[in-house]
Amino acid sequence: MVFSVHPLKYSQCRLVNAWRQPGSSQSAEVLRKSVRAASPLTGPKVCPPALSSLSATRRGLPKEKMTENGMMSRAKVLTIDTINPTVKKVEYAVRGPIVQRAVELERELSQGMKKPFAEVIKANIGDAHAMGQQPITFFRQVLALCSYPELLSDNTFPEDAKSRACRILQSCGGHSMGAYSASQGIDSVREDVARYIERRDGGVPCDPDDIYLTTGASDGIVTMLKLLVCGEGASRTGVMISIPQYPLYSAALAELGAVQINYYLNEEKCWSLDIPELQRALDEARQYCNPRALCIINPGNPTGQVQSRKCIEDVIQFAAKERLFLMADEVYQDNVYADGCQFHSFKKVLFEMGPEYSDTVELASFHSTSKCYMGECGFRGGYMELINMDDEVKAQLTKLVSVRLCPPVPGQALMDLVVNPPQPGEPSYDNFIKERTATLSALAEKAKLTEQVLNTVQGISCNPVQGAMYSFPRITIPEKAVKEATEKGQQPDMFYCMKMLEETGICLVPGSGFGQKDGTYHFRMTILPPSDKLKILLDKVKEFHQKFTQQYS
């Protein structure tokens, strides 16, 4: 399916402005005046409220100062000094300052401002559709049918799309996606998820009652961490996360006031996860907190490594020995590219290790509609499977999620389609396979291309992108640049990425946003741009790095 908006559609879009309230902000200004004129307290030199509250801060005046209209403005209830302190601690680099600057630059370009580049390329986030990847036709047909069931009598839609839509609607209250679902998720969707997991894991059983649908994987991960956090001081819950990590983890732990325990992936061995390093991190952490959970991302984000079966088995043994709750972030389970690499789910390995483990080790596994071949981030669909979770805890979890009523139903419907796609013999099967294969093989090529080109650059070394959607190359930053960055109070790789953004329009995320060994520098770059654009992007990165290195040598 082609998403580019064709001329007819553009003309339709011009229509849109026809019925818009004429110059609402203007007329608002007029009305604002009238409102204020009507008010007894309005002095002559009134400025818009937005302005007056802004300007005080902008000019860095204490908030009790006089406002322009000559009145004492009282101090605000909620200020940076009185905000929830845990919120202040939260950081999320993937949408941090560099991305805000990228958005500014886009605006400046659209305003015709001159820049050394024609467009901003956002390679900062795993947002496949934004990079031009096309949705799976079948998925969108079913979603359209579910949104507007009148289409069920439209003969241009394939029968299998109609039957899927119909099944989904039948399990919705009033046959409408507009009804709340059960807080744990629609029953029939959880059943389909369970069947999918059983197929994926070679028949290892899955109970739909262990499935919770979520608002993207992030929601599930944060909810699980929330359950695990307790204690104070030295008995505070500690959670082990990989470094480099996906910053959702550090952000959630900061917000929950839990202790972040870093274990370092081995960059020299293709970002492998080594048990001795897990042991080191755990033993040290036990001196100042109560480590209760171990988080794994496989395939890795931002590192792109794919863990071997052996590694997963070792991790499970470690978790069992050390009594840690396992959290397996497996949202990239279809994104495996390197020869000899294969995705093994923690669930499957756990059960193949026998009941000593499969009856005891507590595991939460997370999946999402946002990655893999579908890349449907905007629908915020996802699920988690909970293995060996205590029944009373499960009851608490069900209660907790019920407060938010339910995950978005369109996202649940999409999750259902992902775990229950067209089957051989169904009308949409061939096209589905064609579209899925095209996307995944394109990603595999781009993964290889990225690694190859980056490794031709002196001062950049990039591990193979075995899976996921990112390269995380190590970059050499000259001493002079490090010095200049430090003087600016910036991380050297932030300084590097900001400079690249300003000079090339390429938006990457500095390694410091994910964590890295001290003295090493990286950036995360998605492999998602279309091949032709990716080539240009890689050449620009190469060129920039050489220029940057010269400049600071």
Contacts (CB under 8 A) with a second copy, residues 417-476: 423, 425-426
Query: Binding mask 374-393 vs a second copy (x if CB under 8 A, - otherwise)?
Result: xxxxxxx------xxxxxxx
**Phi, psi (rounded to 5 degrees) for 291:** -65, 125
Q: Nearer to a second copy by C-beta: 182 or 482?
A: 182
**Nearest of 268, 358, 271, 282 to residue 313 by alpha carbon:** 358
Q: Which residues ranging from 497 to 526 are in contact with a second copy (CB under 8 A)?
A: none
Within 6-69, residue ranges assigned H as helices are 7-18, 24-38, 49-58
- Is residue 110 at the binding interface for a second copy, with CB under 8 A as the rule? no
457-467: b or e for each residue (b if 16 or more CB lie within 10 Å)?
beebebbbbbb
Q: Shortest approach of a second copy to residue 487 CB, angstroms?
A: 24
> Where are the strands (E) in 163-302, listed by range?
211-215, 237-243, 259-264, 290-297
Give the range of 50-58, 108-116, 296-304, 512-520 binding a second copy by CB under 8 A. Answer: 50-58
**If residue 526 lies in a helix (H) or strand (E), which one and from where to where?**
strand 521-526
Quote the CA–CA distance of 416 and 447 in Å, as a whole number: 28
Q: Nearer to a second copy by C-beta: 181 or 242?
A: 181
Among 65, 85, 452, 480, binds a second copy (CB under 8 A): 85
- Is residue 61 at the binding interface for a second copy, with CB under 8 A as the rule? no
- How many residues sit close enough to a second copy to count as binding (CB under 8 A)? 180
Retrieve residue 65's tokens: 């100062």
Q: Shortest approach of a second copy to residue 517 CB, angstroms?
A: 25
Q: Which residues ranging from 154 to 183 are in contact with a second copy (CB under 8 A)?
A: 154, 156, 159-160, 162-164, 166-167, 169-170, 172-183
Q: Nearer to a second copy by C-beta: 375 or 473?
A: 375
Rounded to the nearest 5 degrees, what angle is found at the Cα of 370, between the Cα atoms of 5 and 228?
A: 150
Retrieve residue 410's tokens: 């369109």
Among 62, 80, 114, 550, binds a second copy (CB under 8 A): 80
Taken in order 171, 175, 177, 182, the sign of the CA dihedral is negative
Q: Which residues ranging from 196 to 235 are in contact with a second copy (CB under 8 A)?
A: 198-199, 202-207, 210, 215-216, 218-219, 222, 226-230
Contacts for 478-484: CB closer than 8 Å, 24+ residues apart: 478/548, 478/549, 478/552, 478/553, 479/552, 480/552, 480/553, 481/548, 481/551, 481/552, 484/552
Q: Nearer to a second copy by C-beta: 171 or 450?
A: 171
Retrieve residue 268's tokens: 């020299």
Q: Shortest approach of a second copy to residue 333 CB, angstroms?
A: 18
- Is residue 407 at the binding interface for a second copy, with CB under 8 A as the rule? yes
- Is residue 98 at the binding interface for a second copy, with CB under 8 A as the rule? no
Query: Binding mask 268-307 vs a second copy (x if CB under 8 A, - otherwise)?
Result: ------------------------xx--------------
Q: Three-state SS for 316? A: helix
Give the range of 12-20, 452-460, 479-487, 534-542 binding a second copy by CB under 8 A. Answer: 12-20
Q: Nearer to a second copy by C-beta: 83 or 234?
A: 83
- Is residue 50 at the binding interface for a second copy, with CB under 8 A as the rule? yes
Strand 470-471 with 521-526, pairing: antiparallel
Q: How many CA atoms lie within 13 A of 415 on its CB side?
A: 35
Whole-angstrom CA distances from 269 to 265, 276, 464 are 9, 14, 11
Among 244, 411, 473, 515, binds a second copy (CB under 8 A): 411
Q: Shortest approach of a second copy to residue 474 CB, angstroms?
A: 26
- Is residue 49 at the binding interface for a second copy, with CB under 8 A as the rule? yes
- Is residue 408 at the binding interface for a second copy, with CB under 8 A as the rule? yes
Among 82, 266, 458, 531, binds a second copy (CB under 8 A): 82
Query: Binding mask 114-143 vs a second copy (x if CB under 8 A, - otherwise)?
Result: -----------x-xxxxxxx-x----xx-x
Q: Shortest approach of a second copy to residue 542 CB, angstroms?
A: 26
Query: Binding mask 321-360 vs a second copy (x if CB under 8 A, - otherwise)?
Result: --xxx-------------------------xxxxxx-xxx
Whole-angstrom CA distances from 325 to 163, 238, 306, 349 are 40, 11, 21, 16
Retrieve residue 518's tokens: 């001290």
Q: Shortest approach of a second copy to residue 459 CB, angstroms?
A: 31
- Is residue 35 at the binding interface for a second copy, with CB under 8 A as the rule? yes
Quote the CA–CA distance of 109 and 117 in Å, as a whole number: 9
Side chain identity at residue 45, one-letter code: K
**Nearest of 302, 382, 299 to residue 345 by alpha carbon:** 299
Q: Shortest approach of a second copy to residue 216 CB, angstroms?
A: 7
Length of the chain counted residue by residue: 553
Q: Nearer to a second copy by C-beta: 222 or 465?
A: 222
